[in-house]
Amino acid sequence: MKPEELRNTATGTSIGVLTSGGDAQGMNAAIRAVMRTALFAGATPYAVREGYQGMIDGGDGITQLSWEDGSGILGKGGTAIGTYRCKEFTTREGQLTAAANLIEKGIDRLIVIGGDGSLAGLNEFHENWPDLIEELTDQNRITTDQAKAHPALICAGLMGSIDNDLVGTDMTIGVDSALHRIRDAMDAISSTAASHQRCFVVEIMGRNCGYLALAAALCGGGDYLLIPEVPPEDHWEQTMVDQLKRSRQAGHKDSIVVVAEGAKTRDGQPITTNQVRETLEQGLNEEVRVTILGHVQRGGTPSAYDRWAPTWLGFEATAHVLTATCTQPPEVFGLRGEQIVRLPLDKAIPETRSVATLINDAQYDQVLDMRGTEYRHLLGVFNELTNPERTEPKKTDKRIGIIHAGALAPGMNTAAATATWLGISRGFQMVGINDSFVGLAEGRLQELAWKDVDAWAYEAGATLGTRRHTPVVEELYAISRALETAKIDALLIIGGWTGYNTASIINIERSRYPGLQIPIAAIPVAIDNNLPGTVMAVGADAALNHVVESIDQVRMSASANRRCFVIETMGRNSGFLALMGGLAGGAEQVYLPEKPITMESLGQDITWIKKSFDDNGRSFFLAVRNENASKNYTTDTIAHLLDEEGQGRYDTRTLIIGHTQQGVTPTPADRLLATRLTETAITHLATQITNHDTSITCVGTSHNAITLTPIDQAMAAMDPDAQRPQDPWWMPLKSILDSLNREQSTH
Ligand code: ADP
């Protein structure tokens, strides 16, 4: 629903929000979105404190929320309204009291943020509601008028769980932040393990879901994985020891075994980290260290994803609950890639909960089916990358070239390293091309071995080198000759706009150049997230997290003064970084290249800022401006205007985040996306070589599925002058930002 359609449509309605069960980073972003969407719609939001316990306690357990209650919580872990595992709510008497207390406050609309247990509780409460109302009326605990006014509980659930176990969506709230914590720990462990040639066992959370462990192993260079969905074969201990030994013999310096806390053997016996350690110490005859990450995974600052996604979900769920009728069944709101999905609560939660039973019944195939195709995909890649035979496969005589093009972005190295590993594992000779198409024209190529790329895999940068030079037609002859001389059978372009533009030119001109008549695939890597054939480019998430961290630091630096800040992000003509950074960082305003800045709109902003400093006690105002938002209304110009017009109400400062956005370490989301896209590209190129198919394909993602789009079709959806998508998926989020980040009185 569009925010404009919601404004002041729910006056007189009350809505409760609660967090229940285990906490997860990002719950606060959801709470904030629920309360502010309610206020924007004219409704009254209430916090139900300490999970379902607040409903049973009544009184101060259910408190009205004001706009300010959402201030300052977006970047905090945990939950600002408390969470609890409330036993009493599972009883009839508990639910009767809970319903009576809600009705006393006039609340019959509810958003619950929690795990599968909490949402099962919500489903039960919803189903029991008419009965509860009847019994409360019979007991004279509510009047017949109250019963008539609240015939149904209208509700929705948001899944907050670091287990990532909601069947039908790709990321539950908290998973991405947990992966950030895990990535940091795994990177630290890898560096110490590699320096000492040591073996580590790392335990990752996940009772019935191995997603975190699988993602950790892929993102952090794990060598062996034990997860509940894929219990190891009999005698796995010996297999594990043999595999690690052979990996070491092949030159791999460290060994990391990743164990999900719920890992079990085929006969249902838990596999403990100590058991794994003892097995390895005996088998490898060396000291083995155990790291149990534990609650560290649930703590700390939420990642950018765990701020913008719950904000969007909170908005959509609240808009639905405020406008739904009594007969509409409750739903769980989740995300599949860039798309909101709504699942029926009474089906989604039992399905999710059935996984534990299926695991106990050894129905592992069915469990993996429920996890979705991408889970199997990642598992397949992990098994291939850790197969001891991988480094010396049966050779084909085919050669695949890897080239970067476009501006530097985090994840270029990850994609190049993964492509090299997978290509070698499938028998190809992988050839690295130095310095993009300029280097190719000069014939600067190098054959790559497994070990050559080991050090790059998780680093920022592009070790092969990248350029933003699009070859002109005259240069194609040299490029074609170089490809022929080096006997390149297929080309993998990893990069940004320049790479796609070059692929597009090659597509048009190739009939005259034999060397260019080979299969070509392009993988999107760009912080601007402006590329054809995909909704997400590798590297955009890392840059976005860097923007959000900078916003957090600016907020802290300004906490003692009345300040107006204008922060400038990169992004060229794409507003992704500025808008999503603003949404995740709680900015009041964003200036984007897709939406012209006018004198009138700046005038309105200035009036609003002055009013909010004067009347609302505001002490901090934040605008995020994309570097190309306007030729004349530069970051400095806007800051000068705000300063001049503020007449001493506040100090104005600017921050240009600059090139550090390109140099940050790839995030777990970037690493996983790079892995999935690269595997698909190598598989596709191999099939093309076999079939003599020389088409040029963009490998991307949409709705979290991997897509293959012909270059001409992908380019047709772009605005070539602005070098960005014609219809970016994130633009509708601008009006959600406007409705949530602006005090109610200033709308
Ligand atoms: P999570 O939501 O993280 O999975 P739990 O399974 O412990 O955590 O559930 C959290 C709370 O949700 C419980 O303490 C209880 O208050 C409520 N709850 C769980 N299951 C039910 C149920 N079947 N009926 C009513 N309430 C429930």
Residue 194 has what pLDDT? 67
Q: How many CB atoms lie within 10 A of CB 591?
A: 27
Atom 23 (ligand 1) nearest CA: 121
Distance from the alpha carbon of residue 21 to the mean position of ligand 1, in angstroms: 6
Q: Does the beta carbon of 174 sit less than 6 angstroms from any atom of ligand 1? A: no
Centre of ligand 1 to C-alpha 320, Å, is 23
Q: How far is the CA of 126 from the centre of ligand 1 (A)?
A: 14
Residue 633 tokens read as 């209304």
Q: Give the span between the Cα atoms of 212 and 489, in whole angstroms.
A: 37
Residue 292 bridge partners (DSSP)? 203
- Residue 589: which residues within 8 A CB-CB, separation 6 or more? 582, 605, 622, 623, 624, 741
Q: Using CA atoms, how far apart are residues 294 and 486, in angstroms rounded to an integer?
A: 50
The more confidently predicted of residues 454 and 639 is 639
Residue nearest to atom 26 of ligand 1 (CA): 121
Residues constituting the chain: 747
The ligand 1 atom at the shortest distance from the C-alpha of residue 160 is: 3
C-alpha of residue 112 to centroid of ligand 1, in Å: 11
Which amino acid is present at 655? L
Residue 395 has pLDDT above 80, yes or no: no
pLDDT at 384: 95
Q: Could you list the beta-strand ranges (E) of 531-643.
A: 563-569, 589-591, 620-626
What confidence score (pLDDT) does residue 193 get?
67
**Orientation angle between helical segments 27-40 and 305-323, nearest 10 degrees:** 40
Question: What is the C-alpha separation between 278 and 503, in angstroms, rounded?
Answer: 53
Instruction: Taking the CA atoms of 466, 467, 473 and 477 in sequence, report the sign of the dihedral they define.
Output: negative
Helix (H) or strand (E) holding 112: strand 107-114
Provide the pLDDT for residue 136.
98
Tell me which DSSP letter residue 336 carries. Answer: E
Classify residue 473 as left (phi > 0), alpha (psi -120 to 50) or beta. Answer: alpha
What does pLDDT average to over the chain?
A: 95
Grouping H, G, I as helix, E, B as strand and the rest as coil, residue 707 is strand
In short, whether 471's Cβ falls inside 6 Å of ligand 1 is no
Answer yes or no: is the C-beta of 118 below 6 A from any ligand 1 atom: yes
- Distance, CA of 41 to chain centre: 28
**19 CA to centre of ligand 1 in angstroms:** 11
CA–CA distance, 413 with 430 (Å, rounded to integer): 14
* Per-residue burial over 549-569, b = 16 or more CB atoms within 10 Å of its CB, e = otherwise: bbbbebbeebeeeebbbbbbb
Pocket test for ligand 1, best of 18, 19, 20 (most atoms within 8 A of CB): 20
Q: Is the distance from the beta carbon of residue 89 to the nearest atom of ligand 1 less than 6 Å?
A: yes
642-690 pLDDT, tens digit per residue, is 999 999 999 999 999 999 989 899 999 999 999 999 999 999 999 999 9
Ligand 1: residue whose CA is nearest its atom 19: 117
Q: Which has more pLDDT, 557 or 38?
A: 38
Predicted confidence at residue 394, as pLDDT, reads: 67
- Give per-residue pLDDT as tens, 328-383: 999 999 999 999 999 999 999 999 999 989 999 999 999 999 998 899 999 999 99
121 lines ligand 1 (CB under 6 A): yes
E-strand stretches of 636-739? 651-656, 696-702, 705-710, 718-719, 724-725
pLDDT in tens, 308-317: 999 999 999 9
Distance 44 CA to ligand 1 centre (A): 26
Ligand 1 atom 7: residue of nearest CA: 21
- Angle subtended at Cα 444 by Cα 442 and Cα 447, rounded to the nearest 5 degrees: 150
Q: For ligand 1, say whether the CB of 157 is within 6 Å of any of its atoms.
A: no
Q: Kindly state if the Cβ of 98 falls inside 6 Å of ligand 1.
A: no
User: 160 in ligand 1 pocket by Cβ < 6 Å?
Assistant: no
Asked if the model's pLDDT at residue 747 lies above 60, the reply is: no
Q: Check 57, 108, 116, 163 and give the catalytic one.
A: 163
- Atom number of ligand 1 nearest to Cα 88: 16
Q: Is 574 helix (H, G, I), strand (E, B) or coil?
A: coil
Residue with tokens 């040639």: 197
Give the C-alpha separation, 504 to 492, whole Å. Answer: 14
Report whether residue 94 contacts ligand 1, using a CB cutoff of 6 Å.
Answer: no
- First-to-last CA distance in the chain? 18
Q: Are 622 and 587 in contact (CB under 8 A)?
A: yes
Phi then psi for residue 674, to 5 deg, are -60, -40
What's the pLDDT tens digit per position in 80-137? 999 999 999 999 999 999 999 999 999 999 999 999 999 999 999 999 999 999 999 9
* Interatomic CA distance for residues 51 and 94, integer angstroms: 13
**Closest approach atom of ligand 1 to CA 52:** 16
DSSP run (H or E) holding 492 = strand 490-495
**Tokens coding 92:** 């009839």
Choice from 90, 93, 163, 173 to test ligand 1 binding pocket (greatest atom count within 8 A of CB): 90
Which atom number of ligand 1 is nearest to the Cα of residue 53? 16
- If one residue of 85, 158, 345 were mutated to test the ligand 1 pocket, choosing by the most ligand atoms within 8 A of its CB, it would be 85
pLDDT value at 431 more than 80: yes
Over residues 190-202, the mean pLDDT reads 81
pLDDT the model gives residue 263: 96
Tell me whether residue 712 is one of the annotated catalytic residues: no
Q: In 298-431, where does DSSP find H-type helix?
A: 305-323, 345-360, 364-371, 373-385, 412-425
Ligand 1 proximity of 377 Cβ (cutoff 6 Å): no
The Å distance, Cα 675 to ligand 1 centre, comes to 36
| Least confident stretch, 39-48, 285-294, 581-590, 634-643 | 285-294
Residue 454 has pLDDT above 90, yes or no: no
Cβ burial of 740 (10 Å; 0-12, 13-18, 19+) is buried
Q: Which of 50, 57, 118, 207 to mutate to test the pocket of ligand 1 (most atoms within 8 A of CB)?
A: 118
Query: How does pLDDT run across 204-235, given as a tens digit for each residue?
Result: 999 889 999 999 999 999 999 999 999 999 99
Strands 255-260 and 199-204: parallel
At residue 162, the pLDDT reads: 87
Q: Whose CA is nearest to atom 18 of ligand 1?
A: 121
The predicted-structure confidence for 124-173, as pLDDT tens digits, reads as follows 999 999 999 999 999 999 999 999 999 999 999 999 988 888 888 889 99
Residue 90 CB less than 6 A away from ligand 1: yes
Atom of ligand 1 nearest to the CA of 85: 14
Q: 85: Cβ below 6 Å to ligand 1?
A: yes
pLDDT at residue 197, rounded to an integer: 75
CA-closest residue to ligand 1 atom 24: 121
Q: Ligand 1 centre and the CA of 373: distance in Å?
A: 29
Q: Ligand 1 mean position to 683 CA, how many Å?
A: 44
For the chain, percent of residues with pLDDT exceeding 70: 99
Q: Which of 53, 87, 89, 119 to mutate to test the pocket of ligand 1 (most atoms within 8 A of CB)?
A: 89
In three-state secondary structure terms, 655 is strand
Residue 95 CB less than 6 A away from ligand 1: no
CA–CA dist 242, 730 (Å, integer): 48
Instruction: Report the candidate in 421, 415, 470, 465 with the shortest Cα–Cα distance to residue 445.
Output: 465
Largest interatomic CA distance in the chain: 90
Residue 677, judged by CB atoms within 10 A of its CB (0-12, 13-18, 19+), counts as: buried
Which strands, in side-by-side order, build the sheet including 445-448? 445-448, 429-433, 399-405, 490-495, 520-524, 696-702, 705-710
Span from the CA of 120 to the centroid of ligand 1 (angstroms): 7
Check residue 358 and give its pLDDT: 93
Q: Determine the Cα–Cα distance for residues 502 and 711; give it in Å rounded to an integer.
A: 11
| Per-residue pLDDT, 137 | 98
Token look-up 């402006």 returns 530
Q: What is the pLDDT of residues 480-520, one digit of tens each?
A: 999 999 999 999 999 999 999 999 999 999 999 999 999 99
Residue 715 has pLDDT above 80, yes or no: yes
- 122 Cα: distance to centroid of ligand 1 (angstroms): 9
